[in-house]
Amino acid sequence: MRIVLNVLGVLCLLMGSIWILQGINILPGSFMTGQTKWAIYGCLLAAAGIGLLISANRRRV
């Protein structure tokens, strides 16, 4: 389960980063380019990915 959460966390973080870059018009080439809402969605997805990584790797007592 820990490996699955780590993989999902990394994928969410990467996808969120791509959405942020497309939303703020740094990474062109799709319908998301230059649209602020995709940058916001990307921030939310990246935060979820960080949350998954933290929860998967915190020490269990």
Q: What percent of the chain has pLDDT over 90?
A: 84
CA distances from 11 to 5, 17, 30 (A): 10, 10, 19
Boundaries of every domain in the chain: 2-57
Residue 33 in contact with residue 22, Cβ under 8 Å? Answer: yes
Which contiguous run of DSSP H or E holds residue 47? helix 36-57
CA distances from 21 to 34, 42, 54, 56, 59 (A): 9, 8, 23, 26, 33
pLDDT at residue 21 greater than cutoff 80? yes
Question: What is the value of pTM for the model shown?
Answer: 0.88
Mean pLDDT of 9-26: 96
pLDDT class for 11, splitting at 50, 70, 90?
very high
Q: How many CA atoms lie within 13 A of 23 on its CB side?
A: 15
